[in-house]
Amino acid sequence: MTDAPAIEVDGVSLTYPGRPAVAALEGTSLTVERGAFVSLVGPSGCGKSTLLKVLAGLARPDAGTARVGGQDTTGSAGLAAYMPQRDLLLPWRRSLGNAVLGAELAGVPVATARTQARALLERFGLDGFERAWPAELSGGMRQRLALLRTFLTPRDVLLLDEPFGALDALTRREMQEWLQEVWREDGRSVLLVTHDIEEALVLSDAIYVMSARPGRIVRRIEVDLPRPRGALDTTSTRFGALKAQVIEALSAGR
Ligand SMILES: Nc1ncnc2c1ncn2[C@@H]1O[C@H](COP(=O)(O)OP(=O)(O)OP(=O)(O)O)[C@@H](O)[C@H]1O
Ligand SMILES: [Mg+2]
């Protein structure tokens, strides 16, 4: 165990080569404290997924450092459990086989991972579907399965890239409440990318707002709302004031 923050990004810049080259990140810095739930919001194409890829060890920054649990992520994939923006379920594996993939890759024995996955199927709303193929699942179920896979990856830090991207408003709200509960029981650190300001406010201890591409951090906003937070809390004055701060920071970064 280390005392280092869960995530430390310091002055990260990344340009994708090509014609034209695309500067995705420029001097981006942020910190996720251990056990905290932190969100990252910003306009489409500003580099949020790129930042998560850097933290997942799948993209190499041109400058700056990114650390997970004190360890440099450059060239070392797998320090954090990562849920990519597209769910990337393997069509030839049944639900249970997909659920254990991250754990398997991290070296957990298959039988152990399967036992752990079975114990969580109900919690993730997938009870009775362990033998289903991904194509037989609804969009929400696929996302829950991808989340289950991420949760089963034995890492202290979770990177979630728009986990509820494709859902209707009501299902999304249910999933947020559910994620909030699961996270409170789980106690790991989370960095969540989302477009949905209310989602960020309901779930997070702090929100980072990114500017338009190349993405840099415009502002960190502490979300000091009491937990647990339900649907009704979104109507409070404090919630409205925080939401206004996020919107203001977003427009300042355009
Ligand atoms: N592999 C790649 N090669 C070249 N350019 C890329 C690559 N991946 C992303 N980009 C470009 O980098 C920029 C940032 O992309 P990124 O996916 O990080 O944005 P994002 O903030 O996650 O957007 P969204 O909210 O739409 O998911 C975009 O202009 C994108 O076109
Ligand atoms: Mg993205």
**Token output for 70:** 């004190």
184 and 148 in a single domain? The answer is: no
Residues 6+ apart with CB under 8 A from 31: 5, 7, 8, 9
Residue after which a domain boundary falls, among 132, 154, 176: 154
| Residue 24 near ligand 1, beta carbon < 6 Å | yes
For residue 203, what is the enclosing H or E element?
Answer: helix 197-203
pLDDT band at 13 (very low <50, low <70, confident <90, very high): very high
Residue 80 has pLDDT above 70, yes or no: yes
The pLDDT score that the predictor gives to residue 1 is 53
Token digits of residue 188? 């790991």
Tell me: do 186 and 240 sit in the same domain: yes
Ligand 1: centre distance to CA 49 (Å): 7
Which residues, in sequence order, are bridge partners of residue 206?
38, 222
Answer yes or no: is pLDDT of 59 > 60. Answer: yes
207 phi/psi in degrees, rounded to 5: -125, 130
For residues 95-111, give the mean pLDDT. 94
Question: What pLDDT shows up at residue 2?
Answer: 65
CA of 104 to the centre of ligand 2 (A): 26
How much is the pLDDT for 71?
Answer: 96
148 pLDDT more than 80: yes
Among residues 210, 55, 81, the alpha carbon closest in space to that of 64 is found at 55
pLDDT averaged over every residue in the chain:
92
Q: Looking at 126, 154, 182, which one is the last position of a domain?
A: 154
Q: How many domains does the chain have?
A: 2
- The verdict on residue 2 lying in a domain is no
Residues 6+ apart with CB under 8 A from 251: none
How much is the pLDDT for 182?
86
Predicted pLDDT of residue 146: 93
Task: Tell me what pLDDT residue 65 has.
Answer: 97
Per the model's pLDDT, the better-predicted residue between 212 and 231 turns out to be 212
Asked whether residue 231 carries a pLDDT value surpassing 80, the answer given is no
Cβ of 53 closer than 6 Å to ligand 1, yes or no, is no
Q: What is the DSSP letter of 231?
A: G
Please give the angle made by the CA atoms of 41, 47 and 53, to the nearest 5 degrees. Answer: 105
Q: What is the whole-number distance in angstroms between the Cα of residue 50 and the centre of ligand 1?
A: 6
Helices of type H across 22-168: 48-55, 95-99, 101-105, 110-121, 139-152
Q: State the burial class of residue 125 (Cβ atoms within 10 Å of its Cβ: 0-12, 13-18, 19+).
A: middle
By the CB criterion, residues less than 5 angstroms from ion ligand 2 are 49, 85
Tokens of 4: 């280092």
* pLDDT tier at 223, thresholds 50, 70, 90: very high
Give the integer Cα–Cα distance in Å for 108 and 118. 15
189-193 and 157-161 as β-strands: parallel, antiparallel, unpaired?
parallel
Give the C-alpha separation, 134 to 108, whole Å. 23
193 plus 231 within the same structural domain:
yes
pTM: 0.95
Distance CA 109, CA 104 (A): 7
Give the HSE-up count for residue 184: Cα atoms under 13 Å, Cβ half-sphere. 11
How many other C-beta atoms lie within 10 A of the C-beta of residue 239?
18
CA of 161 to the centre of ligand 2 (A): 7
Give me the CATH number covering residue 23.
3.40.50.300
Both 235 and 164 in one domain: the answer is yes
Say whether both 241 and 115 belong to one domain: no
**Domain range for 52:** 7-80+156-252
Which-ligand-closest: CA of 84?
2
Q: Please state the rounded mean pLDDT for residues 42-57.
A: 96
More confident residue, 2 or 170: 170
Closest CA to 83 of 55, 41, 120: 55
Task: Tell me if 44 CB under 6 Å of ligand 1.
Answer: yes
Contact 79, 102 (CB under 8 A): no
